[in-house]
Amino acid sequence: MKLLIIALVCIQLSECFHKMPLHRGKSVREILKERGELKSFLETHKYDPALKYQHLFPGYESEIADEPLLNFINNFYYGSITIGTPPRSFEVLFDTGSSNLWVPSIYCNSPACRNHKRYNPNLSSTFKTRGQSFSIAYGSGSLTGYFGYDTINVAGISIPNQEFGLSMSEPGTAFEYSKFGGILGLAYPRLSAGGATTVFDSMMHDNLVSSPMFSVYLGRESSSQIGGEVTFGGVDDKLYTGEIVWVPVLQELYWLIPMQTVLLDGQPTFCTQGCQAMVDTGTSLLTAPNQELKQLLQRIGAYQDKYGEYVVNCDTVGNLPSLTFVINGVDLTIPASAYILQSQGVCVVGFESTYLPAPTENGPFWILGDVFLREFYSIYDRGNNRMGFAKAV
């Protein structure tokens, strides 16, 4: 099952900190102040309100735009964008495993829609529509709706006439209790339902970003660093160390890359004949082919608890083997402390199985979700159809 991440982004920090309650009614400003992180957060994430008008000025030099994220117990990250005139904020998932932008609309009465802020096209003077319908199915959750066009603001970048979806039905419970109401897809345009123009393609087409790339940092809950960040137009050098490992994208559809092998405790154990991996910020865990996952669970002594989750004895985590992904000849290693998720004295294995073959050929197929991405800063280079990884701070 695909688990979705969520991230909270404040477009206007001074307003957002006071108006968006979190954790029993506390604002973001109050939480950061209690942690002693408010000053460094404000210094790092200064916001220029005039950025929303940058597309009106010919010759304006595009910049790199940072979108700060907040981490919800190392499982979910959600962020805020604005839509319409006047602008209204919506919480969305930034998902490299899909391509469409959509939010709930007032025409949707599913519980998932009623639990979130709903977009009202009648309240925006810049909304347009041709009435084209769409449907999308995710690893968990689905929706139907229609496309519209309006001004979208992401990380201070204003995009006029951006195509987006207005959901009319969101069946099931997949989105009902999530912290986000919609999704902003960051995969290739070929994956976009209905052929809708993606947000990042609009940024590139309108020269709103300095480079045709974006990058993602997902923080660790216990870290004193920011909860996370999406950087449009480049990379943030403060959020990684060492050299960047580059690898070509196999298919201009997903962020799909080749892997040479996967080592367990330094020994080639999985993917021994090569395999493929999709890099997906919209999947919370690491997914492995079912047979290989069974072998991994056995090797680390995992067992199912009464809820059906695979767990290990927390006292053994320090002795469990590391897992290394060999990408373009470079070892990218995550320790057991990264793939074992500890919460309230329970140590859950951060893996799930997939039964799908690799998208471009039959063979082992992995998904590198948040468990991996918390350890490695990821760079998505559309200009060169490649991905980069570096050790996250």
Q: Over the stretch 281-304, which tens digit does the pLDDT of each residue have?
A: 989 999 999 999 999 999 999 999
Average pLDDT of every residue of the chain: 86
The three-class DSSP label of residue 6 is coil
Active site (annotated) includes residue 305 = no
Residue range 80-109: average pLDDT?
Answer: 96
Summarize the confidence of residues 150-176 as an average pLDDT: 96
What is the C-alpha separation between 30 and 32, in angstroms, rounded? 6
Active-site residue flag, 95: yes
Distances from the Cα of 330 to the Cα of 11, 47, 195, 387, angstroms: 37, 37, 36, 14
| Residue 168 amino acid letter | M
Q: Which helix (H) or strand (E) holds 210?
A: none
| Better-scored residue on pLDDT, 72 or 79 | 79
Catalytic, out of 66, 201, 236, 280: 280
Query: Exactly one of 95, 201, 370, 381 is catalytic; which is it?
Result: 95
Q: Which residue has the higher pLDDT, 134 or 49?
A: 134
Domain 237-392 has CATH 2.40.70.10: yes
The ranges of the chain annotated as CATH 2.40.70.10 are: 13-232, 237-392
Q: Residue 260 has which token pair?
A: 């040479």
What's CA 201's distance to the chain center, in Å? 17
Q: How confident is the model at residue 47 (pLDDT cuts 50, 70, 90)?
A: very low
Q: Which of 9, 11, 216, 204 is nearest to 97 (CA)?
A: 216
Which amino acid appears at position 354 of this protein?
T
Cα–Cα distance, 219 to 303 (Å, whole number): 28
| Single pTM value for the model | 0.83
Region for 161 from its dihedrals, namely left if φ exceeds 0, alpha if ψ lies in -120 to 50, beta otherwise:
left
CA–chain centroid gap for 136, Å, is 17
Task: Provide the pLDDT for residue 5.
Answer: 36
For range 206-214, the mean pLDDT? 97
CA distances from 366 to 65, 182, 290 (A): 30, 25, 10
Angle in degrees, CA 176, 182, 184, rounded to 5: 145
What fold characterizes domain 13-232? Cathepsin D, subunit A; domain 1 (2.40.70)
